[in-house]
Structure 1
Amino acid sequence: MGVLQPLRRLSDSVNQVAIVVCVGCILAMLGISFTAFLYKLVTGSTLSWTYSLARLFLPWIGFLSMTISLRYGEHVAMTLLVRSLPRIMVQIAAGLCLGVIALFALMLTWYGWDYFTSATQVYMVSAQIQIPSKFTAVVLPISGVIMLLHLVHGFALLEHFIDERHVIDELIETADGEHRS
């Protein structure tokens, strides 16, 4: 257990960085779009590069948000079906689920790295703005590695291992504590 605790802390730290990067990408997209809107209001003409530049942030938002949702157990799960199974079958299903997630993360890392290293195109956003396709391609192996790192949390990643009664009791205690203050 000595190795798992630092890896879990690293996973949580990497998750916080991924959240900040996602928020930064969303703010960049909004800033670019707002700039285009203001330019259109002031001049009456449009900036041709704003849409192309803003959409370069979408892969970052999509793939990093996938890793964030995995960390919080917000991925697709068949919780009702799994909870109706006997406890041993739940554990087997959870193990299989983690195995599939690990396989997907390995493939994302492996093939994503190959895609990144072979990406040679340049996105011509405008005559002055040229962005290498490696900018968007690098998010694939990064996301795969983050997903693999999050797997150190084990069954905690799967929502069907959350004890609702404990969570509800905790929320009630928190609400009661706020009313007493």
Structure 2
Amino acid sequence: MPDDEPAPEVTTETRALRSVQDALAKPPVVKAARAMSLFGEHAGGWLAIGAIGAVADRPRRAEWLTAAAGVAAAHAASIAVKRVVRRHRPGDPGVRVLVGTPSKLSFPSSHATSTTAAAVLYGGLTGKKLTPVLVPPMMVSRLVLGVHYPSDVVAGSALGGAVALGVRRFMTRRRNRA
């Protein structure tokens, strides 16, 4: 950067991201975060779980497939929002990027979106509260890996939750008609 150009402003979000990395980006945590990143890439792991549910729970196959379609829809919605907003991933020299990404766009986090949608939808099918167990670790993993700002993961989770609630309403109406 030439001397006459001012240094980019360090935002509150960048400071928060640096703090998360300073506190948590230790080798075992980074290894787990990378595994979570791979699992959540393009919602692949969550879609696989939906397919397994459809095979294993034959009486509710249609519900599992609808839930998996909801996860796919949430992921697609996050990609659409990314393309409109066009916010770039963290580029601050104090933030370490510890995993590759398929795009340079960060808002919202597609991992947080699909994870929240899967937790809400699959939790409804299993009768288990999956959201508090699955969503926070995925959100934090994206910060540990240095590929999202805090607002990216919060917005992604909100988007995933909104899509999932819409899909649950659809599933409930369909079930009540049958």
Structure 2 length-normalised TM: 0.31
Structure 1 length-normalised TM: 0.31
Q: Which structure features the higher share of helix residues?
A: 1
**Structure (1 or 2) with the larger CA radius of gyration:** 1
